[in-house]
Each structure stands twice: as structure tokens, then as C-alpha cells.
Amino acid sequence: MKKALITGITGQDGAYLSRFLLDKGYRVLGLVTDYDRSQLANLKQVGVLDRISLVSGDLMDLVRLRDRMEDLRPDEVYHLAAQSSVAQSFQTPVDTVTFNIQSTQHLLESIRTLDLPARFYQASSSEMYGRVRNLPVMEESVFHPVSPYAISKAAGHWLAVNYREAYGLFCCCGILFNHESVLRPPNYVTKKIVSAAVRISRGSREKLTLGNVEIRRDWGYAPEYVKSMWLMLQQDEPDEYVIATSEAHSLRSFAAAAFSCLDLDWEEHTVIDRSLFRPSDIDLIYGNPAKARNRLGWEYDMTFDQLVRRLVEEEMAHQEEIQPG
């Protein structure tokens, strides 16, 4: 039985990836801190908490992490842990950059110095591209990160590439564009929109407050995206892959679609607050997943409207579960 070690296992992608790997017959290990142990709701919600093993470990302590990696000796490592909020990264740039870079290097260095045969997945991000000149974005597109988070992800990406090229490690980088689900934390704008829309449909008189609704993003469905992570590590050679839908939609369109699913007009329930505009932001970005489709066999066929409706339906079920009636 193969062993997979997941950092960030308590997050959205970690929970869905755990379920996917368990269904593939893996033994799934989650590297967690004491804080992570208090954040187990996602693992419970997808029904995997009792089927995985949580092990203590500190990604910022290289010596202890190396010892833990020597004990565990996983076949595959999925590095998903990060301070992953773009907005938060502007508030805590030092913490964001320090953790996201050092955690990546400590894992890679542990694998290298222990000479482990583990295959390594690095969670890169579409945010690395920033203000690109040519669209759609492809693997070879030039990075122009515009946030501390994006900068940290670009550094982690190049660390994985360097350890592959310099030391021969099997390192793959998944450049995932925005991917959503009911497990998104409440500070993510898609979750903020969908959860507010559902609460309003249930009688709440609140107003939804948003920033720049003209930004356009490439949004997909998280459970489908985590499959690509596994596919990358099954290839003969490691590489980078863009995972996207190849379509861009505005935040305005997202909000309108979410409220429309509930027969509501989003503009009647929304206030635009310019203080929520980011210091620097990406106006438009979308990716080309042709390489992933052709080489990995990864397919994505959910339309934008289907995605939004799925998110609304999942949120309705979630709110009904925690607050019936």
C-alpha cells in the first residue's frame, strides 16, 4: 500500500485530496500542528477523518521535520500547506513569505538529505503570473507576481524546479487557477458571496459587502482539480502543469449567478466598498490546460453556471445541516 503525506490536510484541497487518495487505496498521512488539529471540520465533512492518520510536525523546524520524514518515509508528498489568502498576505507579508518559502524548502531538503525516493507535489498558483501580457496563461508564461502571496508561491515553485534539476528529485508543480467548493474558508470571496446569498434567501436582512467586482478570474471546482495533483505524480517524468477551465468570468457575474440561483437580484443585497480593493490586483487572467489534458488525461467539463449552482446547492445543504429550518 502506497503512503501519501499531505501538508495542509485540514484545508479545502487537503480534505478532497485525502478522499481521492483513500479511494485509490492509499494510506493517507496528514502532517499537522496543534493548531491544525483544532481545524478538522473539512475532514469530517468529506467523511475521511477516521480513515486517515494525523501526525505532528513543524514545517518550520528543519531538524525535527527531517526526523519525522525519516520515520514516515512516504511514497508521495503533497505540499498544500500555505498562508494562501492574497488579501491576508498584504496584511502579513513577512509571515506569508517566510512560511510559504521555508516550508517548501524544508520539505525538499529533508527528501534530498535523506535520499528518499518520494515524489513531491508543489502547490503552485496562478497568482504567480500576475499581470501577464498574453492570454491564456500557459506553463511557459512569464511570472509577474503582484502580491506577497504570489511572490512566495513563485519562489516555492522555483525551489521545486531547482531541486528537480540540481538534485534529481521527482518534483511536479501544479499551477492551479481558482478552484472553489463549500469547504472554502469564509474570508474567500466566492464563499462570502454564496454563503451570504443563501442566508439572505433564508430570511437574513444583511448586506453583502464586496470590493472590485470587475476583476475576471478562471474559476473551477476543487474536487475535480485535486485529481490532477495525483495524475502528475504518476507520470514517468516530473513537470509543471496549468490546471484551469480556459474561461474568465467577472466577480460581478459570479455574484449575479449565485443570487439568481435563489431567485434574488444581487444588486439589491450588495454594497461596494472601495476599502476592500487590493493595493495591487490582477484585472484579468485565465489559463490554458491543454498540456494537462493531453499528457495527464485530466478533463474538466463543468460550465461556469453549473459550478455556481453546485456551490449554492452545497452551501444550502451545509447551512441547513448546521441550522435547520
Residue 260 burial class via C-beta count within 10 angstroms: exposed 0-12, middle 13-18, buried 19 and up: middle
Active site residue 299: no
What is the distance between the alpha carbons of residues 314 and 284, in angstroms, rounded to a whole number? 27
To 10 degrees, what angle do helices 304-322 and 189-201 make? 60
Q: What is the DSSP letter of 136?
A: S
β partners of residue 137: 287
Instruction: Please tell me which residue in 16, 26, 129, 149 is annotated as part of the active site.
Output: 149
Active site residue 149: yes
Instruction: Please tell me which residue in 84, 89, 103, 125 is annotated as part of the active site.
Output: 125
Spatial CB neighbours of 150, under 8 Å, sequence gap ≥ 6? 86, 89, 125, 127, 128, 130
Mapped onto helix, strand or coil, the DSSP state of residue 254 is: helix
Active site residue 201: no
Instruction: Please tell me which residue in 76, 109, 127, 224 is annotated as part of the active site.
Output: 127
Q: What is the DSSP letter of 321?
A: H
Catalytic residue IDs: 125, 127, 149
